[in-house]
Amino acid sequence: MKRDLSNVRTMCLWVAAAALAAGSVSCSGETTKPLIAGSPAKLVIGVQPASVVAGASINPAITVVVQDSQGRIVDTSHAFVWAGISGGTAGAHLRGAVSATASGGVATFPDLSIDSAGTGYTLMVIADGVPTVMSAAFDVSPGPPAKLAFSTQPAAAAPGAAIDPAVRVTVQDNMGNRVPIAASITIRLDSSSQGLGTLAGAVTQNAVGGVATFPGLHINQTGVYVLAAQEGSRVATSSAFNIFLPVGAVSSGDRRTCALMPDGAIECWGMHGTLGDGSDRASLTPVVVSGAQRFVSVDVGGWHACGVAAGGAAYCWGDNQYNQLGDGSNVSRFTPVQVAGGLTFRTVSAGTDHTCGLTTTGAAYCWGANEWGQLGDGSTSASAVPVAVSGGLVFASLTVGSSVSCGVTTEGGAYCWGANYYGQLGSGSLLDSSSVPVAVSGELTFASIATGTGHTCGLTPAGAAYCWGYNGNGQTGAGYGSRRVPAAVAGGVTFAAISAGGDQTCAIGTGGPMYCWGSTTDWQIPVYGFAPALQPGGLTFASLSVGQSHSCAVTSAGAPWCWGSNGSGQLGDGGTTSTSRPTLVHIF
């Protein structure tokens, strides 16, 4: 009977493709001795990548054939084969099962995909003992449109100013690749925005090559905003960004706050009596302090505030029942009144019921209540005008708290005077007070000092923090128990600035992160305890001020943030809701 050789011829074609190199039938139809393949010597990509779409499985599946040196399939090989990519788009990934075990000398990769569109990709395959082999170059195209993304996020800006650089929105596939199509995209304010402003500008733009650019977008009021972009049913939201007027510094007192503006104006908000605008009202948002003066500093105390004008004259306003305004009277003032005496000041610090100022020559003067000797003139008599602090010390900085005053001399020595019932003078004395400056114990050198309600803290020139005084809520950051001499704050963090308040202390670490310790009363500290804790939120600050029940800080860009108790509107966000989360002050 004649043998049908049609299938044999078909198999010969397979042999030519290295599929049956070890067959036992010749192309002439004659039976031959079976050929036995040698040892694995090389890899051959049997199916090359083609028509590759980002994120989709490469189809048909990639196959890799294990061959001997003569090109015969090593059908006994169970080689472990790896696949990878090179070329194409930087950062691209080959996804799926990137390794396979050969069966009958052939390894198959059924679900490989590449996540990034691009050109000039090559597939490389590797197995132990044989050379790496590369596929022919191929391209990966983006998948179908699936989503929108903000490729240029909105940046912070002033109210009414164009957001720069211009916001850009890109049409993308599921893998995040730009899909170069034409589409009409619209921008709006997202409902998660925390602000009362409106968005204006060219809010609808046509995408070119899959990218829509929105030049000139602007928002008319301060706040924290989020943009939403929409094209058909596809919606994307931006990261949060700030619309704010920059400030030079912020000072927190007892339920009231003031900010120094870049032009020297002062704006205040919170409880009545210290707005300085001529009224006795309260305000949930900042109002401008009256007068033509331009200030270089501002400080808020218990119920009054003071500032130093550009020429060095000191002005105060607010409650004056303890003579803390220094104008020679005990009459409260709702607009700034000049401090008597004709002194030229560098800074002024306002406490609960007294005030101290540092002249341009480094001399300290104080006025107001003096029952604990906090004026430092050797007496306990109140004064409605500045009196010189005893001792003739030359100070570089000065700070005032609740019935206590402290200063750092030009040599770095720390001195305090006033109340000492908690050891807040840091001198180690058991006396309840001192009416003259006494040296802080420990022979430490300080760069700055901050006074709170019953405790005091200082920073050395190297940024190490020490605290002393009342520690009932962990506000000294040095374990348990009150201290009458400086104790090192735990944690070993290096600080650039420090501020003490009611039952808490906060400091700015290297690079601007905020650390706090003490009580979380009045929502003032999100993370609290007896040692410095890094505060959440990701904000970085250049300066800070801890008040009695709220705190404020300013970023390096000048954005003012406040958090804590807000019953009197002292956070300046337009409401009265207390929060431990920093909220942007709505300065207009």
pLDDT, tens digit, 9 for 90 and up, residues 406-441: 999 999 999 999 999 999 999 999 999 999 999 999
Instruction: Dump pLDDT digits (tens) for 376-412.
Output: 999 999 999 999 999 999 999 999 999 999 999 999 9
Q: Is the pLDDT of residue 25 over 90?
A: no
Determine which of 29-38, 88-97, 125-134, 144-153 has the lowest per-residue pLDDT on average.
Answer: 29-38
Instruction: Dump pLDDT digits (tens) for 261-319.
Output: 999 999 999 999 999 999 999 999 999 999 999 999 999 999 999 999 999 999 999 99
pLDDT at 211: 98
Question: Can you tell me whether residue 13 is helix, strand or coil?
Answer: helix
Q: Is the pLDDT of residue 21 over 90?
A: no
pLDDT at 35: 61
pLDDT at 79: 95
User: What is the pairing mode between strands 504-509 and 514-518?
Assistant: antiparallel
pLDDT at 191: 97
- Give dist(CA 122, CA 52) in Å, integer: 12
pLDDT at 588: 76
Instruction: Dump pLDDT digits (tens) for 546-566.
Output: 999 999 999 999 999 999 999
The string of DSSP letters for 362-413 reads: S-EEEEE--TTSTT-SSS---EEEEEEPTT---EEEEEE-SSEEEEEETTS-
Structure tokens at 98: 């990137």
CB-based contacts of 568, cutoff 8 Å, min separation 6: 255, 256, 270, 271, 282, 576
b/e for 481-517, b at 16 or more Cβ within 10 A?
Answer: ebbbbbbbbbeebebbbbbbbbbbbbbbbeeebbbbb
Residue with tokens 């009458």: 484
pLDDT at 34: 52
Q: Is the pLDDT of residue 325 over 90?
A: yes
- Give dist(CA 278, CA 318) in Å, integer: 10
Residue 16 banded pLDDT, cuts 50, 70, 90: very low
User: What is the pairing mode between strands 138-141 and 52-53?
Assistant: parallel
Q: Where in the chain is the domain with CATH 2.60.40.10?
A: 147-243
Alpha helix (H) residue ranges in 78-231: none
Which of 3.60.21.10, 2.60.260.40, 2.60.40.3960, 3.90.320.10 would CATH assign to domain 37-141?
Answer: 2.60.40.3960
Reported CATH class of domain 249-584: mainly beta
Residue 51 banded pLDDT, cuts 50, 70, 90: confident
Q: Is the pTM of this model over 0.95?
A: no
Q: Is the pLDDT of residue 10 over 80?
A: no
- The count of C-alpha atoms lying within 13 angstroms of the C-alpha of 55, restricted to the half-sphere facing its C-beta, is 12
pLDDT at 24: 41
Structure tokens at 79: 């080689």
Determine which of 96-105, 115-124, 522-531 has the lowest per-residue pLDDT on average.
Answer: 522-531
Q: Is the pLDDT of residue 84 over 70?
A: yes
Q: Is the pLDDT of residue 3 over 70?
A: no
Instruction: Dump pLDDT digits (tens) for 521-539.
Output: 767 777 778 899 999 888 9
- Give dist(CA 78, CA 103) in Å, integer: 6
pLDDT at 555: 95
Homologous superfamily of 147-243: Immunoglobulins (2.60.40.10)
Question: Can you tell me whether residue 223 is helix, strand or coil?
Answer: strand
**Which amino acid belongs to residue 6?**
S
**Which amino acid belongs to residue 51?**
S
Structure tokens at 269: 């908000």
Q: Where in the chain is the domain with CATH 2.60.40.3960?
A: 37-141
Q: Where in the chain is the domain with CATH 2.130.10.30?
A: 249-584
Mean pLDDT of 222-251: 96
Mean pLDDT of the chain: 92
Distances (CA, A) of 354 to 8, 350, 385, 474, 500: 109, 6, 11, 26, 17
291: number of Cβ within 10 Å: 18
